[in-house]
């Protein structure tokens, strides 16, 4: 569904991503993990069109998307959330979702219908009239997901949607992710919460220093010595 081919991204002289390639298969949850500064969010920003890759190409359902603008990529069916939650602060929860629902809605009535459906789906219906600035973090993170879903994507990029949640919020969010998957939406997830990753992802890609160092099922990744080294560091006898 998504083919990332030999992507490199330079900032100044520094390579934030070097020669990264992978594919996302329709319907799966692909997790992207790696230590701080490994280039995960940069990769999202490249897929999402915020950055143009320095080298390489990205194809989405066969269309080359590495040279088109963010809003057009969204129209093609890729939606994302942000690591730092960015709801439209002074709008109500409902209005936030309506604003994104407009992309595929013919009129306001239809946009409202879509928004209501999604609020129910994500369990935010009761908070629909709250100004989003006043929501607790767990719900704000969910609002981000709701907003992305309102653009009716076929692929969803979730950037640390679980960070900072308490255990009960975490479980609610995991349920929602499973429900989204059941709808047939493909997902790429950046996450530090290893338990979540191991529980929900079909495959995992590990980045370190901007390079892909491993790819496999959760079980394989958990045993991969290179991954363990990237995370735990190599032992020195110095």
Partner 1 sequence: MLEVRNIDVFYGDVQVLWDVSFEVKEGEVLALIGANGAGKSTTLKTISGLLRPKRGEVLFEGSPIHTEDPFRLIEKGIAHVPEARRLFTEMTVEENLDMGSLKGEARKLREKNKDMVFDIFPRLGDRRRQRAGTLSGGEQQMVAIGRGLMAMPKLIMFDEPSLGLAPILVKEIFNVIKRIREEGNTVLLVEQNCKQTLGIADRAYVLETGKITLEGTCASLLNNEHVKKAYLGV
Partner 2 sequence: MTAPQIEVFLQTLIAGFLLGGLYALIGIGMTLIMGVMKIINLAHGELMMVSMYIAYWLFTLFGLDPYLSVFVATPVMFFIGVGLQKFLITPVLKVDSILPENQVILTVGIGMVLSSLAMLFFKSDYRSTPVSYATSAWYLGDYWKGSPIELSLSVPWTVSFVFALAITAGLWFFLTKTDTGKSVRATSQDPQAALMMGVNVDRMRMLTFGLGSALVGAAGCLFIPIYYLYPSLGGQFTLIAFVITIIGGLGSTAGAIIGGIILGVFESMTATYIGMGWAPVGRFAVFVAALIFLPGGVASLARKRKLGK
Partner 3 sequence: MKRYLPLFCLALLAVVPLVGLNSYLMHILILFVMWSVIGMSWNLLGGYCGQVSFGHAAFFGVGAYTAGILYTKTGLSAWWGLPLSIVAVTLVALVMGFIVLRLRGPYFALATLAIGEVLRVTAENLTNLTNGDVGIMIQERTWVEKIWYYYIILAVAAITFYLVRAVIQSKLGYYFVAIREDQDAAESLGINTTLYKTIALTLSAAITGMAGAFYTNYMGYIDPKVVFALHDISIVAIMVVMVGGVATFWGPVVGSIIMILMAEMIRSVPMLGTAHQTFFGALLIFIIIFLPNGIVGDFKKLRRLVGLGRPS
Residue carrying the six token digits 């960015």? 86
Task: Report how far residue 33's alpha carbon sits from residue 214's, in angstroms, rounded to the nearest whole number.
Answer: 10
Tokens standing for residue 97 = 């979702």
Residue carrying the six token digits 């609020």? 119
Strands 211-216 and 63-64: unpaired
Binding site partner of 25, from partner 2, partner 3, partner 1, none, Cβ cut-off 5-8 A by kind: none
Name the minimum Å distance from CB 51 to partner 2.
Answer: 17
How many residues form the binding site for partner 1 (CB under 8 A)? 29
**Residue 110 touches partner 3, criterion: CB under 8 A:** no
Binding site partner of 227, from partner 3, partner 2, partner 1, none, Cβ cut-off 5-8 A by kind: partner 1
- Residue 106 or 238: which CB sits closer to partner 1? 238
Task: Report how far residue 45's alpha carbon sits from residue 230's, in angstroms, rounded to the nearest whole number.
Answer: 23
Selected binder of partner 1 within 71, 106, 129, 234 (CB under 8 A): 234
Smallest Cα–Cα separation from 215: which of 10, 55, 24, 37?
Answer: 24
- Residue 13 or 184: which CB sits closer to partner 2? 13
**Residue 86 touches partner 3, criterion: CB under 8 A:** yes
DSSP per position, 185-209: -EEEEE-S-HHHHHHH-SEEEEEET
Selected binder of partner 1 within 89, 110, 164, 226 (CB under 8 A): 164
Name the minimum Å distance from CB 145 to partner 1.
Answer: 17
Backbone angles phi, psi at 25, to 5 degrees: -90, 145
**Residue 75 touches partner 3, criterion: CB under 8 A:** yes
Binding site partner of 15, from partner 2, partner 1, partner 3, none, Cβ cut-off 5-8 A by kind: none
Task: Report how far residue 174's alpha carbon sits from residue 156's, in angstroms, rounded to the nearest whole number.
Answer: 15
- Report CA 101 to chain centroid distance, whole Å: 18
Name the minimum Å distance from CB 234 to partner 1.
Answer: 6
User: By the criterion CB under 8 A, which residues form the site for partner 3?
Assistant: 48, 50, 69-72, 74-75, 79-80, 82, 86-91, 95, 98-100, 102-103, 108, 111, 147-148, 151
């Amino acid at each position: 569904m998504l083919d990332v081919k030999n992507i490199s991204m330079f900032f100044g002289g520094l390579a934030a991503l070097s020669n990264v390639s992978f594919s996302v298969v329709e319907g799966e949850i692909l997790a992207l993990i790696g230590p701080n500064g490994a280039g995960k969010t940069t990769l999202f920003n490249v897929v999402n069109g915020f950055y143009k890759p320095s080298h390489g190409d990205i194809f989405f359902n066969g269309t080359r998307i590495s040279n088109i603008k963010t809003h057009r990529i969204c129209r093609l069916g890729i939606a994302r959330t942000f690591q730092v939650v960015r709801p439209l602060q002074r709008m109500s929860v409902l209005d936030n979702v309506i604003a994104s629902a407009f992309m595929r809605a013919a009129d306001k009535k239809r946009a409202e219908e879509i928004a209501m459906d999604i609020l129910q789906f994500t369990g935010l219906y009761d908070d629909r009239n709250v100004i989003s600035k006043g929501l607790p973090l767990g719900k704000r993170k969910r609002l981000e997901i709701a907003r992305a879903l309102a653009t009716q994507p076929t692929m969803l990029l979730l950037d640390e949607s679980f960070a900072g949640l308490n255990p009960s919020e975490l479980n609610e969010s995991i349920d929602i992710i499973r429900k989204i998957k059941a709808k047939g939406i493909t997902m790429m997830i950046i996450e530090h919460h290893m338990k979540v990753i191991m529980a929900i992802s079909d495959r995992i890609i590990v980045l370190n220093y901007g390079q892909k160092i491993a790819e496999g099922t959760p079980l394989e990744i958990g045993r991969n010595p290179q991954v363990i080294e990237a995370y735990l560091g190599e032992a020195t006898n110095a």
